[in-house]
Chains A and B, each alone.
Chain A
Amino acid sequence: MFSDFAALIVLLPVIAFVLTLFLGKKLPHGGAYFPIAAIACSFIISLGIFLEIYPNGIVQQSWPWFANMNIGILIDPLAVVMLMMVTFVSLLIHIYAVGYMAHDPAKPRYFAETSLFTAAMLGVVLSDNILQFFISWELVGLCSFLLIGFWYHKPSAAAAAKKAFLVTRVGDVLFLAGIVLLYVNLSNLISNHLFTPEPGNFILQFKTMFEAAALIDPTQLTYITLLFFGGAVGKSGQFPLHGWLPDAMEGPTTVSALIHAATMVTAGVYLVARTFPMFALTPATLGEHFPALFPAHVPDSLLIVAYVGGFTALFAATMGLVMNDIKRVLAYSTVSQLGYMMLALGTAGAVLGAKAVGISMFHLISHAFFKALLFLCAGSVIHAVGTNDIREMGGLFSKMKITGTTMMIAALALAGIGIPFLNIGTAGFFSKDMIIEGTFEYGEQTGDMIPYAFAIIAALLTSIYIFRLWFMAFTGTPRSERHSHESPNVMTRPLMILAILALFFGFTQGYFYPYLEKNFELMHVEVAGHEGAAPEIPVIVILLPVIVGVLGFLISYAIYYKRMLDMSKIISSGNPIYKLLLNRYYEPKIGADMIGVKLTHGVVAQSGEFVDRKIIDGLVIDGIIGKTAFWLGETARKLQTGVVQNYASVTLLGVGLLLLILKLRGV
């Protein structure tokens, strides 16, 4: 029953977007009720569909669009859990935003844009073909541009919006190239009669892609999947396209929570998960050609996904250690956790096959809950203190008990604290442990332990930076003269709901993994992945994630609560590592100044300008071509005398000539 209304999941927020944009000014709260109601309905429909299709159902609807393309809806386990997460988190954030944005005069624009954004994200999730996926994906990018630059009168916000748009655009171009390459390959297969899509299936539908994937030339398939992954790298802020995400914190905090924690950035992971069967089919040439560097029998694309993800997880976590802007710390944390999700897809994908999707998605969902919670708590703190700088906070816990407690819960979830063997713990405890165990199994089976090392070290750093944040903000003596106060109910209630989820979502794992594992079976797709006998996981491996989590807590406790080590000395002494981290590995310098200004503008654009201005314009405007054209024009314009009689005479003359010619030709 609910699945008949699947299209409404996307359409309702779109309608809310239009209504809020045009009517919002005249309504209380800037018309926030429209998006809230629309997204609540979307959530209810998503939940209804989930209950309807669980555990073995799948919803497919498809309408022809143009040529051999279609518009369609595909709700499989992967999509339905995403749908519920996106609508639910988005709903809470919209409710929270009523309080957070209460004093902003541009509320209608805010709520309209977040509503459109939610619609676009739901469009990504619902798509049953890669073209529709890409269109929604681009719409997500546009909305993120609008929302990051929401306070466009601030130059830094405008610059951040531009940066986000341009950097993700690099990924988008790669993604589009991947789609084109895929299309060319598929249509070649079809015209050579090597592959015929089943009647009623369209060429770029996911099911057609998966059916044909095994027939595509393996090298081409590697290119296609890597280009897709390029798009995912841009959207999910993976190295080297991670720079935009921390800068994107210029937008309102609710935007950060919505876009840069729960939804948009997960689109990249979702893309890889969605096209996972293709990634798993890529050949293992890297291990073959460079046995010293790479493990054997790991599909190339998965290997690259694993390494990029693992490296990003560690790389971003190091920067999270030193940031002083509360939202920047969370932004790097997001980048790092997205790295974990990619890592899970890559490593577990190589050894466990389709299970990897479940492992990655479980972390994605639990991360969405606790990271949205962290951002909303940060928003609550910023709302109270009026600054983003954690050095100016301190001692907030006594004044903001709800925010402080919920943020602690989120921090525990992010650090993955729990009790092993008893299976009691926060959401992050279950999800991150599975990823780390997945990397360990991958290491056991392939002999490549580097991803495991990435994951463990990043877990330690994660724990350190998040508790550093908490201790600096909530404990100690207040470092600024402000009357901070707890936020209103409309803001704290969503925090509590998310905190409950961050605490207890992990217990659904027993249902979650088997459900998602079936995802591709339900679509009748075989996922390659050599299943060895599951190795016995040593006790130390099970314990280690929790040990590093607690260790990180203790380190932060010692440094930032007990003040056993004076960080200010290290900072003031100009420690080179600290400087490197604080300057974000000079990424803004390399990205904007070197590549942007010096290379692109200085070399490419300048030489282009030289060719255009001096050579082409020299020939065309000042040269013979331009001169002739000018002379002709100058002469011919005299024909336009403005005297009606002249025109009439010429017309008559023309008609007369025409008649004469016709007569002479004997017509």
Chain B
Amino acid sequence: MTDLFSYLIISAVIFTIGAYGIITQRSGIKILMSIELMLNSANLNLVAFSSFNGNASGQVFALFSIAIAAAEAAIGFAILVALFRARDTINLDNINILRW
């Protein structure tokens, strides 16, 4: 029980760091990293619950999620690279034409 609890605490901490990063950071790369943090905190939860319940499906699910996260990160970085080439910046404050 205490085992699971400490995992959940760590996961919550990582998640909060990620959320904080997304809200405060201006650099596209940092935001992507923060998103990865949040995603992995969720994975951690999955694995923790899976091991606690003695059921492997959570871990399998986490593997899928990691694979998809990799693809997603690749796309995200590709966008950022393209953006940098076009605008010479990845500061998201300057990339805000999609608005009123």
CB atoms of A645 and B100 under 8 A apart: no
Q: Which residue of A lies closest to B19 (CB)?
A: A652
Collect the chain A residues with CB atoms within 8 Å of residue B85's CB: none
Q: Are A642 and B96 in contact (CB under 8 A)?
A: yes
Question: In the complex, A640 Cα to B93 Cα: how many Å?
Answer: 14
- Measured CB to CB, the closest approach of chain B to A329, in angstroms, equals 68
**Sample of 5 further A-B pairs with CB below 8 A, known A640-B99, A640-B100, A643-B92:** A642-B97, A644-B31, A645-B23, A645-B24, A652-B23
A638 CB-CB contact with B under 8 Å: yes
CA distance A598 to B15 in the complex (A): 74
Residues of A within 8 A of B (CB): 637-645, 648-649, 652
Q: Are A637 and B23 in contact (CB under 8 A)?
A: no
A641 near B96 with CB under 8 A, answer yes
- Min C-beta distance of A456 to chain B, whole Å: 81
Expressed in whole angstroms, the Cα–Cα distance for A645 and B19 within the complex equals 10
Is there contact, CB below 8 Å, between A642 and B99? Answer: yes
- CA distance in complex: A645, B93 (Å): 9
Among B25, B31, B100, point to the contact of A638 (Cβ < 8 A): B100
Q: What are 18 inter-chain pairs, A to B, with CB distance below 8 A?
A: A637-B100, A639-B100, A640-B99, A640-B100, A641-B96, A641-B99, A641-B100, A642-B97, A642-B100, A643-B92, A643-B96, A643-B99, A645-B22, A645-B25, A645-B26, A645-B92, A648-B19, A652-B19
With a cutoff of 8 Å between Cβ atoms, the chain B residues found around residue A649 in the complex are 23
5 A-B pairs closest in CB distance:
A642-B99, A642-B96, A637-B100, A648-B22, A640-B99
Whether B92 and A644, one on each chain, are in contact in the complex, defined by CB atoms closer than 8 angstroms, is yes
* Chain B residues at the A interface, C-beta cutoff of 8 Å: 19, 22-26, 31, 92-93, 96-100
Contacts of B24 in A (CB 8 A): 645
A652 and B35 CA atoms in complex are apart in Å by: 13
Q: Which residue of A lies closest to B93 (CB)?
A: A643
Bound complex: CA of A639 vs CA of B25, how far in Å? 20
A554–B93 CA distance with the chains assembled, in angstroms: 97
Residues in chain A near residue B22, CB distance under 8 A: 645, 648
Name the one of A640, A641, A642, A648 contacting B23, with C-beta atoms under 8 angstroms. Answer: A648
Cα separation A317 to B31 with both chains bound (whole Å): 86
The residue on B at minimum CB distance from A655 is: B19
Chain A nearest CB: distance from B19 CB in Å? 6
Chain B neighbourhood of A652, CB < 8 A: 19, 23
Select from chain A the residue with minimum beta-carbon distance to B20.
A652
Chain A minimum-CB-distance residue to B97: A642
Docked pose: A642 CA to B99 CA in angstroms: 5
Most buried by A among B23, B92, B97: B23
Chain B residue numbers with a CB within 8 Å of A637 are 100
- On chain A, the residues within 8 Å of B25 by CB distance are 645
When distances are taken between beta carbons in the complex, the residues of chain A under 8 Å from B98 are: 642
What is the minimal beta-carbon distance from A54 to any residue of chain B, in angstroms? Answer: 71
Question: Which chain B residues border A645 with CB–CB below 8 Å?
Answer: 22-26, 92
Interface centre among B92, B98, B100 (most CB of A within 10 A): B100
Which A residues are in CB contact (< 8 Å) with B100?
A: 637-642
In the assembled complex, the Cα of A652 lies from the Cα of B34 at a distance in Å of 14
CA–CA, A644 and B100, complex, Å: 14
Query: In whole Å, how far is B22's beta carbon from the nearest beta carbon of chain A?
Result: 5
Which A residues lie within 8 Å of B19 (CB)?
Answer: 648, 652
Shortest distance from the beta carbon of A544 to any chain B beta carbon, whole Å: 86
Can you name the residue of chain A whose Cβ is closest to the Cβ of B100? A637
B64 to chain A, nearest CB (A): 23
Complex Cα distance A638/B100, Å? 6
- B69 CB, min distance to chain A CBs, angstroms: 18
Q: Which residues of chain A are near B96, meaning CB under 8 Å? A: 641-643
In the complex, what's the smallest C-beta–C-beta distance from B90 to chain A, in angstroms?
Answer: 12
| Cα of A640 to Cα of B23 in the assembled complex, Å | 16
Q: Which residues of B contact A643 (CB under 8 A)?
A: 92-93, 96, 99
Cα–Cα, bound, A34→B95 (Å): 59
CA distance A583 to B36 in the complex (A): 83
A634, chain B: closest CB distance, angstroms: 9
| Chain A: minimal CB distance from B86 (Å) | 17
Q: Which residues of B contact A641 (CB under 8 A)?
A: 96, 99-100
How far is the CB of A632 from the nearest CB of chain B, in Å? 14
Cα-based distance from A642 to B96 in the complex (angstroms): 5
Complex: how many Å from CA A637 to CA B99?
8
Chain B proximity of A365: nearest CB distance (Å): 69
Q: Residues of B contacting A640 with CB < 8 Å? A: 99-100
| Residue in chain A with minimal CB distance to B34 | A648
Set of chain A residues within 8 Å of B23, measured between Cβ atoms: 645, 648-649, 652
A639 to B100, CA, bound (A): 8
> How far apart sit A40 and B25, CA to CA, in the bound complex (Å)?
76
Complex: how many Å from CA A652 to CA B22? 10
Q: Which residue of A lies closest to B26 (CB)?
A: A645
State in angstroms the CA–CA spacing of A503 and B97 once bound together. Answer: 81
How many angstroms from the CA of A644 to the CA of B22 in the assembled complex? 9
In the complex, what residue of chain A is closest to B92 when comparing beta carbons? A644
